[in-house]
Amino acid sequence: MFLLIQWAWELSKLQLRFSTHIDILSHIPPTIVLTI
């Protein structure tokens, strides 16, 4: 049970980090993204 909660927590943190990354990328012009 604890492992399931821990897994769900890790997944939510990863999802949060991913959505934040997408949010940051959407604010950067595509040309800058391509050069990175």
**For the chain, what are the domain ranges?**
1-25
Please state, in angstroms and rounded to a whole number, the distance separating the CA atoms of residues 8 and 23: 22
Indicate yes or no: pTM above 0.75: no
> How big is the chain, counted in residues?
36
**pLDDT of 36 over the 60 cut:** no
> What per-residue confidence (pLDDT) applies to 30?
65
**In this structure, are residues 33 and 25 in contact, taking their beta carbons and an 8 Å threshold?**
yes
**Region 12-25: what's the mean pLDDT?**
78
Q: 9-25 in b/e burial notation, b at 16+ Cβ within 10 A?
A: eeeeeeeeeeeeeeeee
Phi, psi of 12 (to 5 degrees): -70, -35
**pLDDT of 10 over the 80 cut:** yes
> What per-residue confidence (pLDDT) applies to 20?
77
